[in-house]
Amino acid sequence: MLKRIILSIVLISICFLADAQKKKVLNTPKYDLDPIHFGFTVGFNTMDFNIYNSKYINTFDSVYSVNNLRQAGFNLGIVSNLRLAPFLDLRFLPGISFGQRDMEFLIRGNDGFYKRVMKIESTFLEFPLTLKYKAKRINNYRPYLIAGTCYRLDLAARKKVKENEKPMILLERHDVYYELGFGVDYYLPFFKFSTEIKYCVGLNNVIRNDGTEYTRGIEKMVSNLVVVSFHFE
């Protein structure tokens, strides 16, 4: 579903930019001259893990392999934008995102192999700080690039898990990400609307190794997200 949304945004952006070559009346022509402005953002995400196996995987433990299954989530936030230069802004977008990642374990049993799936829910408090480099405005459209960093606190990392929800993998609550993305600003008569896609990669190992067979086979696990956002400013 998220892939379709991303493809649709890219196609719509291309169509708008092509149409923008025609001379039109400018909406909110002095909008970008304001030193500070605010807004809100909503969007969708997919959460994922990059899993690095340890030397114990597929040895004496019953866990033969482990895979990550992406799931869709959503996010909400506030937009704070500071104009640094004609083509450069500093942005702070605190918010919250909800999502889930499923860990699929292939287990070697006495009667052959079978699968067990563990659902890992995450609720992130997010504090991203990014630089936004804007291209020259073309009528009522303006593409841009973003790059920055984000601190995320996983509120669901310490929740208690029922016995029937195991196998259990515990995650660290704190992580820092770097973020890269692009988007397009659309200047409407009374506000600015933006579509944006960004890729977020965690820098820390988020798995808490408790010595069980489910964590012993994983050397390192890094979190990442793909986020599609709609900004209203």
Percentage of residues of the chain with pLDDT beyond 90: 48
pLDDT of residue 147: 97
Residue 206 counted as domain residue: yes
Q: Is there a domain that residue 31 lies in?
A: no
With a CB cutoff of 8 Å and minimum separation 6, the contacts of 19 are none
Rounded-to-integer distance, Cα 116 and Cα 118, Å: 7
Mean pLDDT of 217-221: 82
Q: How many domains does the chain fold into?
A: 1
Residue 148 confidence (pLDDT): 97
DSSP reduced 3-state for 18: helix
Residues 151, 208: Cα–Cα separation, whole Å: 19
Residue 156, in any domain of the structure:
yes
Q: Does 205 have pLDDT greater than 80? A: yes
pLDDT above 70 (res 26): yes
| Predicted pLDDT of residue 140 | 92
pLDDT of 94 reads: 97
| 43-52 mean pLDDT | 90
| Domain assignment present for 224 | yes
Range of 121's domain? 2-19+38-163+181-232
Q: How far is CA 226 from CA 65, 70, 92, 177, 230, in A?
A: 25, 10, 18, 12, 14
- 203 in a domain, yes or no? yes
The answer to whether residue 28 sits within a structural domain is no
| Model confidence, pTM | 0.81
* Domain assignment present for 30: no
pLDDT bucket at 219, cuts 50 / 70 / 90: confident
Helix (H), strand (E) at residue 10? helix 2-19
DSSP conformation class of 21: T
DSSP state, residue 230: E
Of the candidates 59, 50, 232, 47, the one whose C-alpha atom is nearest the C-alpha of residue 152 is 47
pLDDT in tens, 82-98: 999 999 999 999 999 99
**215 close to 206: Cβ distance less than 8 angstroms:** no
- Is residue 29 assigned to a domain? no
Rg (CA), the chain: 21
Q: Is the pLDDT of residue 56 over 80?
A: no
Name the average pLDDT for the chain: 84
Residue 79 corresponds to which tokens in the numbers above?
């937009």
Q: Which of 161, 180, 192, 167 is nearest to 224 (CA)?
A: 180
Convert 60-84 to b/e letters by CB count within 10 Å (16 or more is b). Answer: eeebbbbebebbebebebebbbebe
Q: Comparing 210 with 154, which gets the higher pLDDT?
A: 154
For residues 229 and 196, is the Cβ–Cβ distance under 8 A?
Answer: yes
